[in-house]
Structures are given as C-alpha cells and as structure tokens.
Amino acid sequence: MATRSAGRTRRAAFAAVAAGCALVLAACGGDDEEPSVEVEENPDFPAGSTMAELSEAGSIEIGVKIDQPGIGYLAPGEDMPSGFDIEIGKIIAGALGIAPEDVTWTETVSDNREPFLQQGNVDIVIASYSITDERRQVVGQTGPYYVTGQQILVREEDKDTITGPEQLADVKTCSVTGSTSLSNVVDDYGAEPVPFDTYSDCLTQLQNGSVDAMTTDGAILLGYAAQAPDELEVVGEAFSEERYGIGYQHGDTEFCEFINDTLQEAYDDGSWAEAFEATLGESGVETPDPPELDACQ
Ligand code: GLU
C-alpha cells in the first residue's frame, strides 16, 4: 500500500475544521463553485479489504496529472489540484470516509502510471488513464467514468492546413511517452512524434514553434485551447476512443467492485454530472451521459 504518513499529518490539521462542518464539505469551504463532496461517516467494509485498510488509515494517495486544465491541474500558488479526475478522486475517497483534505495527490506522468501502481507508490491512479487490454495485463483498471477521443492541437494559423491524423507523418508532431496517443499515431498513421514526458512540455514546443502539432485526447487539448483561444485550435474529428478508467492494484476485484458501486452511485445521484459541469464543462465540453461501467474481472 502507499505510504500514508503525509495524509495523517494533514488529517490532524483538518480535524478542527471538520468538527464544525456538516458532511457536505463545499458548504464549509465557502466556495459555492466547487461541487459538493459527500464523506461517509464510519463506513463498514470487510476486514482485511483494501477499503477497510484505507478507511481505517483515513487517507489515500491518488496519482493524478497536474498540468491538464479541466482534468488534473495544479494552478500556480495552489496546493490542491482541480479538474474532473480530481473530483472523481474526491468521490472515491468520500465513499471510503476520507475527506478531500486527507487525500495525498501525487503527480503521475503518462509513462509511470503502471509502475506507480505496481510498486505501491500510490493507491489508485486517476490520470486521463485510458483503459487498454495491454495495461490490464499489469494493473487493474475499471470504469470508464468518461469517454473521449484523440484529436490534434495546432497553432491558429495552421488550422486549415493540418486537419487530420493522415498529415501527422509530414509535420513535426509532439506526443507523450507511454501514452496511447503516441502509439496510436505511430501504429495507425505512420507518424514519428517527438516524445516528451508531459503534455505541457508538448504545449511549450507547439507555442514556441519547435513542433507544428501535438496530439492526445480531445478533452486534454480543449483545456489547453480554452486557455489560449486566439492562439490555438483543436482540429479534426476524434480518431480513437479513449475510455478513462481508475487504476488499482492488479487482481483486487473486491476493490474494483467498490469503485464501480461508487461510480454508479455518483452517476445516479447527479454528483458525477455536477463534477463534470464544474470542470471539463467549463472548457466548453458538453456534459455527456455517464458511460456504462465494465464488469470487474
Ligand atoms: N488517455 C491517453 C492515455 O492514457 C492519453 C492521455 C495520457 O497520456 O494521459 O495514454
């Protein structure tokens, strides 16, 4: 399991605030924009289960992205990340009886998500993490809690010349090591992207003219485009299906069932839609119907 000492320290600091608050924490923060997060009081789990261990520890370590606005983003000067993945993380933590303040958010990049889970550096990963058969060989992945598709981001002046993945073999393209985005365009379109560790690295390359296009999930690209609408444009239709899942330790089916039950409840009680509207919805993405969950394997 992930080390939880940092979470415990923060829990002590948070206790004074929690004592005066109702279960719906947004009301305590004074920020009406943030979705409310329900934190279960004394939830009961089977002895020895991952749920019981996390719930008793009172903290959880979640691997997230911190450079993808709308999904997982740490704004300069903030110590709490924001975005749809972060809200999903708070919903899972809340169902374990863990308050948002007791979550340890750990940055993961695309290429270290499997090793972080395998080595127990984090308890779960919620990081624009597409479910794939290959990844499911080495880690557990459940969901999807969101479905997007791969697109292309270009500078405004190139939006009529670079319009689809067929052109990526002929222009300087950036993508990220360990992502489906990179392998999709190599395998299906003969592109040879310049590989970087993060999408914010690619964004810098695109903005300074070192590359002419970057490619990954539309949801990620829309977040960047929303930050520089006069400068950047998402072009073309989606050319893949990316089903975002929650990563957990391979083989922990009981935990998978718990995650699925929690997601289904969030779909049914409207908290999933509320989380979406407050995050990706702000980048102009329309709130979809929640996707059907895979059965745990
Ligand atoms: N969703 C894709 C993946 O998991 C691309 C985004 C990312 O790298 O986080 O590889």
pLDDT(11) > 80: no
pTM: 0.90
For residue 289, tell me if it sits in a domain.
no
CB atoms within 10 A of CB 251: 11
Q: How confident is the model at residue 246 (pLDDT cuts 50, 70, 90)?
A: very high
Is 127 found in the same domain as 38?
yes
Question: What is the CA angle 84-90-93, rounded to 5?
Answer: 145
* Domain that residue 174 falls in: 150-235
Is 17 found in the same domain as 95?
yes
Mutate to test the pocket of ligand 1, among 68, 107, 108, 110 (most ligand atoms within 8 A of CB): 110
d(CA 236, ligand 1 centre) in Å: 19
Residue whose Cα lies nearest atom 8 of ligand 1: it is 179
pLDDT(70) > 50: yes
Is 139 found in the same domain as 50?
yes
pLDDT(4) > 50: no
Q: How confident is the model at residue 284 (pLDDT cuts 50, 70, 90)?
A: confident
Which residue's entry shows tokens 């699925």? 260
pLDDT(30) > 70: no
- CATH code, domain carrying 51: 3.40.190.10
> Can you tell me which atom of ligand 1 is nearest the CA of 68?
9
Is 195 found in the same domain as 116?
no
d(CA 275, CA 156) in angstroms, rounded, equals 30
Is 180 found in the same domain as 123?
no
For residue 294, tell me if it sits in a domain.
no
For residue 266, tell me if it sits in a domain.
yes
179 within ligand 1 shell (Cβ under 6 A): yes
State the total domains in the chain: 2
Inter-CA distances, 180 with 46, 112, 154, 184, 238, Å: 36, 13, 19, 6, 14
pLDDT for the residue numbered 5: 36
pLDDT digits (tens, 9 = 90+) for 80-95: 999 999 999 999 999 9
Is 89 found in the same domain as 54?
yes
3-class SS letters over 108-176: CCHHHHHHHHHCCCCCEECCCCECCCCHHHCCEEEEEEEEECEEEEEEHHHCCCCCCHHHHHCCCEEEE
Is 82 found in the same domain as 38?
yes
Is 258 found in the same domain as 118?
yes
pLDDT for the residue numbered 33: 61
